Amino acid sequence: MMAQGGRLIVMAMVGCAAGIFLLGGLYPASSYVTENVFLIVIDGVRNTEAFDDTTHTNIPHLWNDLRPLGTIYSNFYNTGTTITTGAHLAMLSGVRSGLPHCIARGDDPLAFECYRKELGIPQEQIWLFDNNPDGFIGMDYSTHPAYGEEYASSSYHAYPRSDMHVARALAQAMDQYHPSLVLVNLFEVDRMGHQENWEGYLEAIRRADAIVYRIWKKIQADTTFNPAFRDTTYRDKTTLIVTTDHGRRDDMHGGFKNHSMRDRGCRDLMFLAVGPDIKADTVIETRGDQIDIGSTIAELLGFSLPLAQGRVLDEMLIVPPGKDESNGEVESRAVSSGWHPGPNRSLMDEVRVTDTDAMSRDPSIAASDEGLHLVWAERDTGLVSDGWDIRYALSTDAGSTWVEEDAPFVRKGEDTPHTPDIAADPLLGAFAVTTAYTFRPDKPGADSTFVWGVVGRARYGGGGWSPTVVPTKPKLMMIHGEPAVAVSGEQIEVLSAASYFQMAAASRESLGVGWRRRRVQTWGGRLRECPEVAIADTVRHALFVARSPGHGVPWYARRIAATGTVDTFLTAGEGVIHGAGLAVAGDRVIAVWGDDRQGHWEVYWRRSTDSGISWPEQAVSLSESGVGAWLPDVEASGDSIWVVWEDYRDGNAEIYAKQSTDAGLTWSEDTRVTAAGGFSVHPRVTHRDGDAYVVWQDDRDGNWEIYSARIAFP
């Protein structure tokens, strides 16, 4: 269902199914009173002109009329990219997004899609309204193979019309379709700011304030406000959330004309919630994050947002009678010592590595003579605000058991690690890296509340972790996705997707030499993402996506050697790309990636046989999913190549693998690694003694846990 600048027109609608297969299992109906959620985003209002203004001149209705009815968060932030597209995707998916304006759709499933798929909600019940010039490309559905256009929201795009026009379109939809999940973007505040019209900017805030109040009165069917507001469908059954996607630069960083920076003015957000399950007249000082909005909407409406990293803003919720508030953590530790081959386990002999109440995600694995090294991110359940630790486990018996040892990165105060990677040299040991951010709201002279960077630690010779090092620039607006690290002898290469138009790289030639930091060439206004690195002898290889505004997604390979740098397009925009793997074996370089050029996702691969100088063979589809296969990883040793990926051919997310024993001339059949019935995602692979080992995150136990397996191919 889509409309643009005029009547609301039904163009396509998928109705409720009598029975629906749910990827994550059966989810119970919400126990809250709330049956509808309206999320209103006043685009680009700086908090110094909103809640932080002690006079509240620009928001009299929000402050005087709505605030006493609900809850505000006095410390609410955008900790990702302070740009409209990325910020809205973060709110709807619960995952920080690095996407700038109009680049492409997001890859993580949105609240719209999850709500429709899990509860069988028809398209006309979910609406997106905006008057943004970019038309909110990518906000109605994601590229995720389990969701997508089949579960899109209805949308109404009203550019270049006013916020009031958007409000009238919303009112018409409320009367005609009675939607239960709505996102409204009011763009005029941001437009006036970009025009550097201070008075127009303030007036736009005041108009938005009046519009929000009018919407609430219609929700509550207040006929004393307007006799036409007689429809009681929403009265006392609707939660209204009012926030902004980003603020504006403070005076230290150029003033209100622009945003897109890491300063406090851009990051500090207003947040207000009103509804039957929201505490009244409450101010919460606990830190909230933009990525918490999606999880909170899902909690209220009774569906899951499976990949969300945000939390439920439960401080503001009135807990329904009988709802379980318990939260604990059960630890599980194994004991082993000394590497040995382990039992002759079959393909399906999986090992559950973690067993906690915390979310465990984004595992990475590497091998050395000491054993198998595993790192993953695990939420700190003792913290109300966003908090993660990077955990580490070692297996010395071919993955049969894992011993959790000292964590390489733990949250210290407001210094928070986030997403890890690990690599190892067979003789020296492992080197782990993680993205991390630091929160400094009150530090004198600080020019930002949040800054991002990459930190690393070595575990050489079977000992403990070395002191922390900072390979890349430590003060970035955001690092999205995972970092990548490669180790060969004493050489280390680190690559990360920094902010949204650059890659941050760092190299170290030997243990006694400092880090050489650099920025990878940007090739104009293209998003950098999905970095991968590898080292062979003294040659460094890098692989990454560069998304362009036209949605073409060239896939770059970069070879760096003493003789110079060679860049190669591995694709030329044939399809959208997501997820990648890179491996080297002698002079062979193997690249794999997820590609939708066939109209659905499949894993493609390409190789170089001269150490990345040339790539004469064309990209070839490797997987045979027919439905959706993406997020691959690859390992190589001698003539052997192992590829693993996330696959949706079985109706849910399972891990598949493939092997070549002749350097890619022939391949085994697609081999199913998991059969869990839920989400088995984010596979990573390594090898040792001729065997391949895969790790992944899995929700079969009702919580995200880390699993591992040794792959035996038929």
Reported as a single tens digit per residue, the pLDDT across 98-108 is: 666 555 688 89
The predicted model gives 531-542 an average pLDDT of 82
Class of residue 352 by CB neighbours under 10 A (exposed 0-12, middle 13-18, buried 19+): middle
In a domain, 198, yes or no: yes
Contact 457, 469 (CB under 8 A): yes
- Report the pLDDT value the prediction gives residue 473, as an integer from 0 to 100: 63
| Three-class HEC string of 323-357 | CCCCCCCCCCCCCCCCCCCCCCCCCCCCEECCCCC
From the list 423, 476, 646, 485, the residue with the least C-alpha distance to 82 is 476
The string of pLDDT tens digits covering residues 297-321 is: 999 999 999 999 999 999 999 988 7
Q: Is the pLDDT of residue 357 over 90?
A: no
Give the phi and the psi of residue 394 in degrees, each rounded to 5.
-120, 135
Same domain, 573 and 635: yes
From the list 682, 684, 655, 687, the residue with the least C-alpha distance to 671 is 655
- Report the pLDDT value the prediction gives residue 343, as an integer from 0 to 100: 40
- Report the pLDDT value the prediction gives residue 642, as an integer from 0 to 100: 97
Integer Cα distance of 117 and 236 in angstroms: 26
Integer Cα distance of 52 and 60 in angstroms: 13
In a domain, 707, yes or no: no
The predicted model gives 362-386 an average pLDDT of 86
Confidence of residue 582 (pLDDT cuts 50, 70, 90): very high
50-64, 78-92, 113-127, 212-226: lowest mean pLDDT where? Answer: 78-92
Final residue before a domain boundary, out of 473, 493, 520: 520
In a domain, 19, yes or no: no
CATH (domain of 235): 3.40.720.10
- Report the pLDDT value the prediction gives residue 168, as an integer from 0 to 100: 96
Integer Cα distance of 180 and 154 in angstroms: 12
Final residue before a domain boundary, out of 464, 496, 520: 520
Confidence of residue 10 (pLDDT cuts 50, 70, 90): very low
> Which has the higher per-residue pLDDT, 259 or 195?
195
Same domain, 96 and 218: yes
Range of 584's domain?
530-692
Same domain, 498 and 646: no
Q: How many helices (H) and strands (E) does the chain have?
A: 8, 39
Q: Is the pLDDT of residue 601 over 60?
A: yes
The predicted model gives 350-373 an average pLDDT of 94
From the list 399, 545, 392, 413, the residue with the least C-alpha distance to 458 is 392
Contact 504, 481 (CB under 8 A): no
The predicted model gives 221-241 an average pLDDT of 97
Element (H, E) at 286: none
In a domain, 709, yes or no: no
Integer Cα distance of 313 and 360 in angstroms: 20
Same domain, 374 and 498: yes
> Which has the higher per-residue pLDDT, 137 or 204?
204
Element (H, E) at 138: none
Contact 497, 530 (CB under 8 A): yes
Confidence of residue 366 (pLDDT cuts 50, 70, 90): very high
User: What percent of the chain is modeled with pLDDT above 90?
Assistant: 57
Q: Is the dihedral of CA 30, 36, 41, 46 positive or negative?
A: negative
> Which has the higher per-residue pLDDT, 411 or 117?
117
pTM of the model: 0.90
Q: Is the pLDDT of residue 712 over 60?
A: yes
> Which has the higher per-residue pLDDT, 455 or 112?
112
Q: Is the pLDDT of residue 92 over 60?
A: yes
DSSP single-letter state for residue 149: G
- Report DSSP letters for 49-113, one per residue: GTTT-TT-TT-HIIIIIIGGGSEEESSEE--S--SHHHHHHHHHHSS-----TTS---SSPPHHH
- Report the pLDDT value the prediction gives residue 497, as an integer from 0 to 100: 75
What is the pLDDT of the chain when averaged over all its residues?
A: 84
Q: How far is CA 499 from CA 106, 494, 518, 634, in A?
A: 16, 16, 14, 26
Confidence of residue 546 (pLDDT cuts 50, 70, 90): low
Same domain, 72 and 204: yes
Cis amide bond preceding 474, omega within 30: no
- Report the pLDDT value the prediction gives residue 554, as an integer from 0 to 100: 56
Confidence of residue 535 (pLDDT cuts 50, 70, 90): confident
- Report the pLDDT value the prediction gives residue 640, as an integer from 0 to 100: 96
The predicted model gives 564-572 an average pLDDT of 77
- Report the pLDDT value the prediction gives residue 103, as an integer from 0 to 100: 55
Q: Is the pLDDT of residue 55 over 50?
A: yes
Integer Cα distance of 17 and 20 in angstroms: 6
Tokens of 21: 């297969």
Q: How far is CA 11 from CA 166, 336, 554, 620, in A?
A: 19, 61, 33, 37
Contact 555, 571 (CB under 8 A): yes
CATH (domain of 392): 2.115.10.20
- Report the pLDDT value the prediction gives residue 460, as an integer from 0 to 100: 86
Same domain, 355 and 209: no
In this structure, the dihedral spanned by the alpha carbons of residues 41, 44, 46 and 52, taken in order and rounded to 10 degrees, is -10
Contact 543, 482 (CB under 8 A): no
How, if at all, do strands 705-711 and 539-547 pair? unpaired
Q: Is the pLDDT of residue 551 over 50?
A: no
Residue 241: half-sphere exposure toward Cβ, Cα within 13 Å: 29
Q: How many domains does the chain have?
A: 3
Same domain, 282 and 374: no
- Report the pLDDT value the prediction gives residue 507, as an integer from 0 to 100: 81
Confidence of residue 477 (pLDDT cuts 50, 70, 90): low
Same domain, 431 and 513: yes
136-145, 166-175, 235-244, 517-526: lowest mean pLDDT where? Answer: 517-526
- Report the pLDDT value the prediction gives residue 374, as an integer from 0 to 100: 97
In a domain, 14, yes or no: no
User: What percent of the chain is modeled with pLDDT above 70?
Assistant: 82
Q: Is the pLDDT of residue 71 over 90?
A: yes
In a domain, 660, yes or no: yes
Ranges of beta strands (E only) in 616-690 are 620-621, 629-637, 640-647, 654-660, 671-672, 680-688
- Report the pLDDT value the prediction gives residue 445, as an integer from 0 to 100: 52
Same domain, 473 and 360: yes
Same domain, 134 and 272: yes
In a domain, 4, yes or no: no
Confidence of residue 123 (pLDDT cuts 50, 70, 90): very high
Integer Cα distance of 671 and 171 in angstroms: 52
233-247, 515-529, 604-618: lowest mean pLDDT where? Answer: 515-529
- Report the pLDDT value the prediction gives residue 251, as an integer from 0 to 100: 80
Q: Is the pLDDT of residue 550 over 60?
A: no
Class of residue 708 by CB neighbours under 10 A (exposed 0-12, middle 13-18, buried 19+): buried
| Helix (H/G/I), strand (E/B), else coil: 610 | coil
- Report the pLDDT value the prediction gives residue 137, as an integer from 0 to 100: 66
- Report the pLDDT value the prediction gives residue 621, as an integer from 0 to 100: 95
Q: How far is CA 498 from CA 435, 446, 519, 534, 609, in A?
A: 10, 20, 9, 19, 31
- Report the pLDDT value the prediction gives residue 452, as an integer from 0 to 100: 80
Contact 403, 335 (CB under 8 A): yes
DSSP single-letter state for residue 116: H
Final residue before a domain boundary, out of 457, 491, 520: 520
Confidence of residue 382 (pLDDT cuts 50, 70, 90): low
Same domain, 397 and 434: yes
SS3 content of the chain, % helix, strand, coil (to 5): 15, 35, 50
In a domain, 137, yes or no: yes
Same domain, 495 and 539: no
The predicted model gives 528-550 an average pLDDT of 73
- Report the pLDDT value the prediction gives residue 9, as an integer from 0 to 100: 34
243, amino acid identity: T
Tokens of 445: 């002279």
The predicted model gives 445-458 an average pLDDT of 76
| Helix (H/G/I), strand (E/B), else coil: 559 | strand
Q: Is the pLDDT of residue 671 over 70?
A: yes
Confidence of residue 416 (pLDDT cuts 50, 70, 90): confident
- Report the pLDDT value the prediction gives residue 512, as an integer from 0 to 100: 61
- Report the pLDDT value the prediction gives residue 15, as an integer from 0 to 100: 30
- Report the pLDDT value the prediction gives residue 25, as an integer from 0 to 100: 32
Residue 635 forms beta bridges with which residues?
A: 642
Contact 609, 596 (CB under 8 A): no
CATH (domain of 658): 2.120.10.10
Q: Which residues contact 326 (CB under 8 A, 6 or more apart)?
A: none
First to last CA, the chain: 47
- Report the pLDDT value the prediction gives residue 12, as an integer from 0 to 100: 31
Q: Is the pLDDT of residue 216 over 90?
A: yes
Q: Which of 27-36, 117-126, 329-338, 344-353 has the highest mean pLDDT?
A: 117-126
DSSP single-letter state for residue 320: P
Give the phi and the psi of residue 240 in degrees, each rounded to 5.
-110, 125
- Report the pLDDT value the prediction gives residue 129, as an integer from 0 to 100: 96
- Report the pLDDT value the prediction gives residue 338, as an integer from 0 to 100: 37
Q: Is the pLDDT of residue 536 over 80?
A: yes
